[in-house]
Amino acid sequence: MISFAGGLPAPELFDVAGMRTAYDRVLAENPRQALQYSTTEGDPELRAAVADRLTARGLPTGADDLLVTTGSQQALTLLATALLEPGAVVLVEDPCYLAALQTFAFAGARVVPVPTDDQGLVPEALEEIAARENPTLLYVVPTFQNPTGRTLPAERRTAVAEAAARHGFWIVEDDPYGELRYEGEPVPWIAAAPAAADRTVLLGSFSKVMAPGLRLGHLRAPAGLRRSCVIAKQAADLHTSTIDQAAAARYLRDSDLDAHVAVIRAAYRERRDALLEGLPAVLPEGSRWNRPEGGMFVWATLPEGHDATALLRTAVGHEVAYVPGAPFFCGEPDPAAMRLSFTTHSPDEIGEGLRRLAKSFV
């Protein structure tokens, strides 16, 4: 099976030797502390290192502005616990990251879709919906979004921040993919926009730049909300694994994460290009797809009348897979949409996967 389905990082690119050294050093030098309970807020050295990285990327941050989370997925749960009463309105991009939709649904929220176009959230639509719905928060993945790979332009980010200030809702800015940029210039975080600095929560993750099995993420939030999240986390898991945090901090001290991310970027850029080069000969005439500047996903839409969910069965018969787009929608689903992930196969395998996909249209 060649799979364009999973949203997994490429395991052959994990820095296994570097991680092993980091764990060895932690266990050799400070084993009793590394194996002990620790604070809910997270390892101070790890938080300081993350704060420095955020600051270097244009968002002044101190270690105390951060809470370490068990993956950024946990940050979503903590925010739901801290902010959402049953019936509270959560605005999301349509389509949206599936596990976020689930988290908000479990919290009893009413999830309201905001229309998007090729550039992501449409600010005029957000303005109108926010005025009508009195939302508690907006959840947005502005850079290389899952599932669409889209990036929200700077002027729309400012508009989103201004809408939040005007209507008094929180912005949850989820950014697990921002460092995986293959071309173009970084776009400033919404969290850096003055209009909404006091009502934006920025989520980050080590999953895509180190390894998802570490389950390490972080949440940067204004003090009051951060304290509520700390209390929610005490109830959820006391703290994120002490030894995993210590090893990540040690890795950041001894290894060059930026150099490692450059290796990942170079490999993923090649894989993205292989997918984009092959698609025109494979998808039926009239299909559309985007060219994401980074991240892990290409979003394709088949011509009217095609059903990507029904087609998947045929594709799997030819030993190739993708994710149909429909489940990612919270409003009216587009049955012709599909998400193609390009990270886990070599360019040659991607070429073979596309030849198999082409057979599905015969």
**What mask, x for binding ligand PMP by CB under 6 A, covers residues 35 to 74?**
------------------------------------xxx-
Minimum Å gap between C-beta 97 and ligand PMP is 4
Name which of 95 and 212 has its Cβ closer to ligand PMP.
Answer: 212
Asked if 174 is part of the footprint of ligand PMP (rule: CB under 6 A), the reply reads yes
Q: Does 151 bind ligand PMP (CB under 6 A)?
A: no
- Region from 109-117, 205-213, 246-254, 298-306 binding ligand PMP, contact rule CB under 6 A: 205-213
Min separation Cβ 203 and ligand PMP, Å: 7
Query: Which two three-digit tokens encode residue 253?
Result: 């001290």
> Which CB atom, from 135 or from 176, has the smaller least distance to ligand PMP?
176
DSSP-derived 3-state class of residue 362: coil
| CA atoms of 67 and 220, how far apart (whole Å) | 7
d(CA 172, CA 203): 7
- CA 218 – CA 249 distance, rounded (Å): 13
DSSP states of 213-255 as a string?
GG--EEEE--HHHHHHHHHHHHHHHSSS-HHHHHHHHHHHHHS
Closer residue to ligand PMP (CB): 208 or 306: 208
Nearest alpha-carbon partner for 253 in 3, 84, 1, 21 = 21
Q: Which of 2, 5, 7, 357 binds ligand PMP (CB under 6 A)?
A: 7
The reply on whether position 205 binds ligand PMP by CB under 6 A is yes
The set of residues, in sequence order, having a beta carbon less than 8 Å from that of 288 and lying 6+ positions away, is 300, 301
Q: Select 34 or 76, whichever has its Cβ closest to ligand PMP.
A: 76
Binding mask 316-345 for ligand PMP (x = CB under 6 A): ------------------------------
- How many whole angstroms separate alpha carbon 76 and alpha carbon 102? 10
Instruction: Give the nearest distance from C-beta 209 to ligand PMP in angstroms.
Output: 10
Q: At 337, is the secondary structure helix, strand, or coil?
A: strand
Distance CA 75, CA 70 (A): 8
Figure out which of the listed residues 19, 129, 141, 243 binds ligand PMP, where binding follows CB under 6 A. 141
Contact residues toward ligand PMP (CB under 6 A) are: 7, 71-73, 97, 141, 146, 174, 176, 205, 207, 212, 217
